Structure 1
């Protein structure tokens, strides 16, 4: 579980940095581009990937899909916040847990014991309650494309990383390096197109933000993949514990650091989330 805890810490830090970036008018796409450059450099220096092992037999469909999804999802995330607000976007992102959980059962053929079923049921309720917010504004009934893309995107990304972690013929560190390289290329192309079209202007401050973001993003993905390696027989444990852990830690930091107000339903959601993590953890040692 140590890898899951480390991944949660890195993930929450990334979320905090993105929130601060919005406050200080940082270009998300520029920071994300530098982030992938920093991540692939860290991967090369510390993990020593053997690029010569990457052949035509490698899982290129997964690599290419991740290379497109990883940078693109940040754009949909920003668009969703702009059109439907942070609340609905957060709910869409966390509810993406449904996709990898279903994949764990239907694709990875994982058996679900009673502890895990109870934990997941409580967890789904916890996700909804934790992110319920009171709003003085009427619900925006505009285009639902952006939150749907956030929901599907994060869910599919989880599944793709799981498949790469289980690929036996290629070290996952080499796969990770390949994904970072391709993601950097895709995000760089997006930046070039946006600069040429006049939508954004290049600024050096985004480089500094991107370097910091890349450090924690690298740690988040690395530990997440290590968790899947360590718990190869229980992918739903990693899926659920990671998402619920981010909810708990993220909510606590939101209350303490950003002075966000929580309702009684929100606190009930936190309690349920903790209970869900306990049940899912117990399912590890339960007899099927």
Structure 2
């Protein structure tokens, strides 16, 4: 429902009329299919990591993957690598770990390291691919249609998986999933749309955008957990919030 909502939202916001043949013939079509597959595959692997290794491990693996698009941006797009910026990126990685490891979190890293590694690698490849396609293949007004195609591919794969589970009688349907998926689809589409708009901005570097985006998500998630869900933050978590703010300032002002 999340991906279906995001798909139709992208179509409705596109200034270009929906033309299947033009989409298939576009230069970014196969890239969008690959991203759609990665979206839903990594989403499901993240769920496995949360169950087997703990939610903190899944969060750290996802956000630490920022090193992949950052390195790619520095070497491929020749982005700036000043000492202040590099120090800010290193601090951002420390902030992710400090904020993510909650008190009494059930972290298990002795076994099952394959799935956390796949989350790390897959998340990094997704961010890197988004920047690459945005740079070389997407037209100025093509972001909504490109985003819709990604989510449409993910929706098709999800429907195939659910149909298979239904036939095997492994699916327990919950009506609240429809409402939750609808709301999530709006937020999900907006996150990709504005990320692409930021990457398209001439004065912003991808290494800066991905670093600030990832560490800010972790920082704000911790604060939302404190305010809305009354989660207790340890001294390490608060230190992580402080380090996150410092890293954002260092990277953005570099």
TM-score w.r.t. structure 2 length? 0.90
Change (3 A) 1:51 1:79: same
Deviation track 1:106-165 (CA, whole Å, cap 9, x = no partner) reads: 333323122211211211121122223343868452312221121112111111111222
Pairing 1:173–2:144 present: yes
Residue 46 (structure 1) aligns with: 13
CA RMSD of aligned residues (A): 2.0
Quick check: 2:46–2:119 contact (8 Å CA) kept in 1?
A: yes
Quick check: 2:70–2:210 contact (8 Å CA) kept in 1?
A: yes
Residue 142 (structure 1) aligns with: 111
- d(CA) in 2 for partners of 1:218, 1:188: 18
Residue 183 (structure 2) aligns with: 212
Deviation track 1:157-215 (CA, whole Å, cap 9, x = no partner) reads: 11111122213453222211221221111111121122222221334332222111111
Residue 16 (structure 1) aligns with: none
Give the deviation of 1:102 after TM superposition.
1.4
Aligned length in residues:
250
Equivalent position to 1:270, from 231, 241, 248:
241
Gaps of 5+ in 2: none
Residue 78 (structure 2) aligns with: 109
Residue 3 (structure 1) aligns with: none
Residue 202 (structure 1) aligns with: 173
Residue 24 (structure 1) aligns with: none
Quick check: 1:105–1:111 contact (8 Å CA) kept in 2?
A: yes
- d(CA) in 1 for partners of 2:107, 2:15: 52
Quick check: 1:231–1:238 contact (8 Å CA) kept in 2?
A: no
Q: Say which SS state the counterpart of residue 166 (structure 1) adopts.
A: helix
Pairing 1:96–2:96 present: no
Equivalent position to 1:160, from 122, 129, 135:
129
Equivalent position to 2:3, from 1, 16, 36:
36
Quick check: 1:49–1:177 contact (8 Å CA) kept in 2?
A: no
Q: Say which SS state the counterpart of residue 133 (structure 1) adopts.
A: coil
Quick check: 2:57–2:107 contact (8 Å CA) kept in 1?
A: no
> Which range moves more in the overlay, 196-205 or 158-167?
196-205
Quick check: 1:166–1:232 contact (8 Å CA) kept in 2?
A: no
Residue 65 (structure 1) aligns with: 34
